[in-house]
Structure 1
Amino acid sequence: MSNRREVLLDAAVRVLGGRGMRALTHRAVDAEAAVPVGSTANYFPNRESLLGAIVERISARERANFEEIARTVSPTTPAELARVLGAAARDAAGVHRELTLARYAILVEAGHNAAIRRRVAENGSRVDAWFAVWLRLIGSHDPGHLHLVANYLTGLILHQLAVPDPAFDPTAMIAGFLESLVAAVGTHESETAGRTI
């Protein structure tokens, strides 16, 4: 059973993901959680503390979703990784839609809130470790690829959230993108080897 703090934060995520940043108030969270007025303020006395806790809660829930996937797969080719990431993208825009919308609302807030920006960066680095391992397994050793792939996925999911396509399945596009990254690594390594002979 979730504790009261988690109940309030999950309600806050639903408010944020379902109605947007302007709708996020202590009273709205109280109502969403079906608790007495003032309950949210008892745990999070101001908006900044509430937003900071929401960042942590979103990160924890997304990490749990991601780790559930990571326990069952170990992709070694671009096609295998594309299937994993394609499924994750469909879930992010589907069953986890509210959670994803809440994260994107927080990302926008981070653009002009330094404290939130720091929290987002700290939490993001934890999930990045999984991506880095998977990219190495498919043959990419360029640290910059991590951000390229993450930003590509973010764009695909954001577009699906904004302009929903019932047939959304980005697997083929992700596969093509990953294959081009790995091919570029192979080409660069061949050229480097040729120059040292």
Structure 2
Amino acid sequence: MTSSAEPHVHPRGVKLGVDVGTVRVGVAICDRDEILATPLKTLDRNAKKNSDVRVIAALAADRGAVQIFVGLPRTMKGEEHASARMATEYAQLLADELDRTGSDVPVHLVDERLSTVTAHRNLHEAGMSSKNHRKVVDQVAAAGILQHAIDMQKARGTDVGSRVRALPRTGLPGQAAADTAERPDPEKETRSSEDGQLQ
């Protein structure tokens, strides 16, 4: 479930960014000094077995990540639709998997308006043909999400986004995250976007 606690000083070190899609999931990583986010890999989304969720949890452990940001898609008016619900549920699955493996790496949802559009534009400007975008656009979008988050943390001196906490393990099997998790604070996310929106 998400927390509405006041912002606090953010953890320092390697962080992961995640761009969730129905078919693919992009993953990005930043250096320990939190200067630059770079694309890492693209995973096939497996909604039945959630093998991709386990891969990201393993990546966090292997790379010594201190935080994971999952992009929360909103319309330009700040509204949430199906893709936002999917991202929220994915963040919940990830938080639950990290908890199951004994990890305390925090998962945060952050506004990702325009991240995929920006990724496509950057790839085009880099000279990559449109037909090749699909192979890397998700991880490039994830890098945009992560860069946005770490830049915001530096600018504000506090954490950003909405924390997603693991559900109690005594909960009903298969219980939908959308039914049990508190929704992210729209005002909080909108302020974050206005303060450091990706160009």
Q: Same fold (TM over 0.5)?
A: no
Max Rg structure: 1
Name the one with the larger strand percent: 2
More helix by share: 1
